[in-house]
Amino acid sequence: MTEQGDIFDEIAEFNRAYLVLAQRMLRVHFEQGKRQLGISDESAATIVSLTADQIDELAVGGELVCEFRADNAPGRA
């Protein structure tokens, strides 16, 4: 069970880092951040408005809060 607990801790840490980075990107340049993150206006507005406590709540959900987009991977046409 310890390994699974470690994985959940790592997911939470990743989620926190992702949400804080996304929030900073959107606050600096909303449209560019939205495009780089591949998210909708609604999702972007929600991320910008999150408090630190809300970020922590989302981070510990046990699932990644982001999605990897293979179509935007380097080397893809």
| CATH number of residue 11's parent domain | 1.10.4000.10
The pTM for the full model equals 0.83
Q: How many domains does the chain have?
A: 1
Does residue 67 form part of some domain?
A: no
The predicted pLDDT at position 69 comes to 75
d(CA 20, CA 55): 8
Does residue 76 form part of some domain?
A: no
Instruction: Kindly report the three-state secondary structure assignment for every residue of 8-65.
Output: HHHHHHHHHHHHHHHHHHHHHCHHHHHHHHCCCHHHHHHHHHCCHHHHHHHHCCCCCC
| Domain of residue 7, residue span | 2-62
Does residue 8 form part of some domain?
A: yes
Per-residue pLDDT of the chain (77 residues), as tens digits, is 577 779 999 999 999 999 999 999 999 999 999 999 999 999 999 999 999 999 999 999 999 999 887 776 666 55
Does residue 22 form part of some domain?
A: yes
